[in-house]
Amino acid sequence: MSTGNHFDWSAGYTSQRLPVFGRNVVSTSHPLGAQAGLRMLLKGGNAVDAAIAAAAAMTIVEPVSNGLGSDAFCILWDGQALHGLNASGRAPGAWTPGYFRAKYGADAKTPPVRGWDSATVPGAVAGWVALSERFGKLPFADLLEPAIEIAERGYAVPTVVQQKWSAAVPLLQQQPGFAETFMPRGRAPNLGELFRFPGAARSLRLIAQTRGAAYYGGEIAEAAARHAKAHGGAIRVEDFAAYRPEWVDPIGKAYRGHVLHEIPPNGQGIAALIALGILSNFDVERLAVDGVDSQHLQIEAMKLAFADTYRFVAEPGSMEVTAAQMLDDAYLASRAKLIDMKRAQDFGAGNPVKGGTIYLSAADESGMMVSFIQSNFMGFGSGVVVPEYGLSMQNRGHGFNLVDGSANQVAPGKRPFHTIIPAFLTRDGQAQMSFGVMGANMQPQGHLQTLVRMLDYRQHPQAACDAPRWRFNQGVEINVERAMDPATVQGLVERGHRVEVINDSYQDFGAGQFIWRLGDPGSEGYVAASDARRDGQAVVC
């Protein structure tokens, strides 16, 4: 008999997490995900095997943030060099501006937020296969065993996941397949209640047996296409079959003797690089770490970065400027001069021509380090689920627009502007840290804030992770966590920032995982941090 309902789950005290040390590490936002990765390391696998196993498990235990219909990105250090993988989805062949205007009106500005017409072809599963084929050690089928086991046996729904699950039900319960899949008792699961996911287990077995072929053109793709057709969507088997992830060279920017690396556009990682490039023109470490001057400066640098990112970033072939132009030192120095240390500003874009996500990280004693992220975009994504296969689709298509002449205008086979970004830090050409911070446009802001704390103020990864954060929204509007020093908050208000203090850290301030290399991975190993804003942990062996 269950006695879980005996407890008041809301009662508790503020807890502090401590850094974790080990030669092999997996850090995720759910303990079962981390343990799935650890099982692969104990089985003789490497960090790539661990990352794939953790990613697959995360589709089961944190469905509010990712699923088998997610997209993914990865930055990987193989012991000698960095490699980037863009596994973001592409638009179905039927998607044109005319397609959406005919269905949603001539005045429509973007594809819809929910439903099949918000879902591009998912790339995460193809990303798992590509990583395994190029860098993995264990058989691909082995990597999905923990996820299949969890899906079939079920798991007790944890605190943060349950909160977000309940919040999503009123928004999504009418979407095709959602209630059948994610409301097994006519509601969201309660905290600590068992949730089984047999449809996803079925898909995972097919993916394992066929190395993804059943997903891209086989049984799963056929089921998705039938479901889409029945509910007004345009995606077809041919769209799945045509999908391929892309290996890319990460882009980087030097900062305080290190180099931050991000995936190049169509993602927003360049925003973190721009902001750091602007901060390079200031002596940040002379400012008090949690004081108003340091926080104001970082906020203004981030606002300048977003102004250019939102103006110029799209699928690379559609951009009117290059990433190199956006990151030019002289151009960023000119942007830095726009910052007024006494006044918040609403910046416009410059002219560079002249001048619901999960994140995980894994590292092994051979020196391989993996920075991996996958996402549904907005919570459960499109809200659409193919129930018999547990396939919950992302809503990345909403990232397109329908504006003629826009670099991010929808087109067949095109990738939309993307928010999910893994990150990697090197020093003297060697791996230093694999890390990421989840949460829509909070991601580059989280990269910036945690790196400044570690590199300018020498805070260890867990301290930098735990510290209160701010989040820029638009104009001069920002959110700050309630833990931020009230004097700093008041100072920001006095400089013209429109500040809202927020209690929901998950929703507004993201959550990160960090693995920092201490020295020789086989002896000194790594120090890892996991964000208390979610249910996860870092595990070691």
- The set of catalytic residues is 357
CA distances from 199 to 15, 178, 367 (A): 37, 12, 37
- Provide the sign of the torsion angle of the four alpha carbons 498, 295, 258, 434, taken in this order: negative
Residue that has been written with the tokens 């929808």 in this structure: 410
CA distances from 511 to 272, 301, 360 (A): 16, 21, 10
Q: Which of 300, 289, 276, 325 is nearest to 451 (CA)?
A: 276
- Structural contact between residues 369 and 517, judged by C-beta atoms closer than 8 angstroms: yes
- Structural contact between residues 57 and 536, judged by C-beta atoms closer than 8 angstroms: no
SS3 377: coil
- Structural contact between residues 270 and 327, judged by C-beta atoms closer than 8 angstroms: yes
Residue that has been written with the tokens 């693995």 in this structure: 515
- Structural contact between residues 370 and 434, judged by C-beta atoms closer than 8 angstroms: yes
Residue that has been written with the tokens 């329908």 in this structure: 402
Region for residue 501 given its phi and psi (left: phi exceeds 0; alpha: psi -120 to 50; beta: otherwise): beta
Q: Which of 209, 211, 242 is nearest to 225 (CA)?
A: 242
- Cα–Cα dist 130/244, whole Å: 9
Neighbours of 58 (CB within 10 A): 30
